[in-house]
Amino acid sequence: MRIAVVGLGHIGLPLAVQYAGRGHEVTGADINPSIVEALGAGRSPHLDEQALVDRVPGLVAAGRLRATTDTGEAVRGAEVVVVIVPVVVDAAREIDFGPIDAATADIGAALQRGTLVIYETTLPVGTTRNRFGPMLARASGLALDDDFFLAFSPERVLVGRVFLDLRRYPKIVGGTSEASTARAVEFYRAVLDESAEVRAVTNAETAEMTKLAETTYRDVNIALANEYARYSATRGIDVLEVIGAANSQPYSHIHLPGIAVGGHCIPVYPRLYLWNDPAATVVASARAANAAMPAYAVDLLAAAVGDRFVLRDTSGQQTLGGGRFLDLRAPARRRRPRFSSATSCASRSATAWRSTALASASVRPRHTGCWDRTGRERRPPSP
């Protein structure tokens, strides 16, 4: 099978390698020349997954994986096009469709009759059918679900362990018609490992909603844990002890509190949900609660260590309560600040701050949004 993967980022490239590793001919398209040049030289431009680094040279040498900056070139000969181009939320909380719209226009201009197009980028509900379907039809002059086929299948993997997650999490697939769904299911069964489950849902909207539901749930759950932590602090209660005890009952799955919600997914996807459902008060309140946590955590840290640290923003200007970097100038000491159990939402969820809070260093808070149902941090397993 001839496959085009549009977007060769930290998820797109592993997808291309997965497909090529199953014996298919894959052409990746990316607007970043350095990514294309690295692949042309037979090496991975991304170093966050060893399996990716190891597999790229052989697949390039075998002619099963190549890359280009010309999206049309990749699409013209493809039977299937997989799109994994970012959709971001800007500072005004507006969705920026610019990059993926541009990619869709390029795909449409080169689309051939009978091609299946699949979007894996997380999208607001209805985007695949109502935005990209018409764009592809206009640019190609082809009729959706007659001349070309369209589906949505959300990526559900974590950077650094993509190949493992492709094997162990069901691949959710929904098309704009029964024919599109069937073709997408057939595709994933051909390109994923035989042990992977491919699960068809009713339509593209159901698949889009599935991704937003599973990610927004985490944001809401963490917001609830953060509120528990803030209240517990006023009563001298160790919130981690509370969560551990509560989660011993099988119907309680409280996540851990932390310094807001890290990563590039969980803080963004609730905004994609709210774009279509602005009246969702629970989702909006949870997002606001988590957005307020960095300042709260800084206040806890300031109270604990006093004037022994200085916060600076990205320009180097001294600030307090809103700084993005913790610039610690005091002499190195091994003893950490004396956080009480009641302030554990800051002290225990930020490993870098906890272990080096009095050392001379500049540290960033780590990602704190990935927890299992028992309240323990879920670390990526080895592939």
Answer whether residue 202 shows pLDDT above 80.
yes
Q: How much is the pLDDT for 328?
A: 37
Q: How much is the pLDDT for 66?
A: 98
Q: How much is the pLDDT for 317?
A: 57
- For 31, what's the count of Cα atoms within 13 Å in the CB-facing half-sphere? 8
Enclosing H/E stretch for 282: helix 281-291
pLDDT band at 316 (very low <50, low <70, confident <90, very high): low
Mean pLDDT of 108-129: 98
Q: How much is the pLDDT for 56?
A: 98
Answer whether residue 344 shows pLDDT above 60.
no
Mean pLDDT of 139-158: 97
Q: How much is the pLDDT for 120?
A: 98
Tokens of 258: 């932390």
Partners of residue 174 on adjacent β-strands: 152
pLDDT band at 259 (very low <50, low <70, confident <90, very high): confident
DSSP track, 130-198: IIIHHHHHHHH---BTTTBEEEE------TT-HHHHHHHS-EEEEESSHHHHHHHHHHHHHHS-TT--E
- For 361, what's the count of Cα atoms within 13 Å in the CB-facing half-sphere? 13
Mean pLDDT of 18-45: 97
3-state secondary structure (DSSP) of residue 312: strand
Mean pLDDT of the chain: 84
Long-range contacts of 103-106 (CB under 8 A, 24+ apart): 103/6, 103/7, 103/71, 104/132, 104/135, 104/136, 104/139, 105/135, 105/139, 106/6, 106/71, 106/72, 106/75
Q: How much is the pLDDT for 318?
A: 53
pLDDT band at 24 (very low <50, low <70, confident <90, very high): very high
Count of positions (residues) in the chain: 383
Q: How much is the pLDDT for 260?
A: 78
Q: Which range is least confidently modeled, 20-24, 82-86, 170-174, 266-270?
A: 266-270
Q: How much is the pLDDT for 298?
A: 85
Phi and psi at residue 275, in whole multiples of 5°? -60, -35
Answer whether residue 315 shows pLDDT above 90.
no
> What residues are labeled active site?
211, 265
Q: How much is the pLDDT for 303?
A: 81
Q: How much is the pLDDT for 304?
A: 79
3-state secondary structure (DSSP) of residue 6: strand
Q: How much is the pLDDT for 302?
A: 80
Q: How much is the pLDDT for 125?
A: 98
Domain architecture of the chain: domains with CATH: 2-202 (3.40.50.720), 204-383 (1.10.1040.10)
Tokens of 380: 């990526």
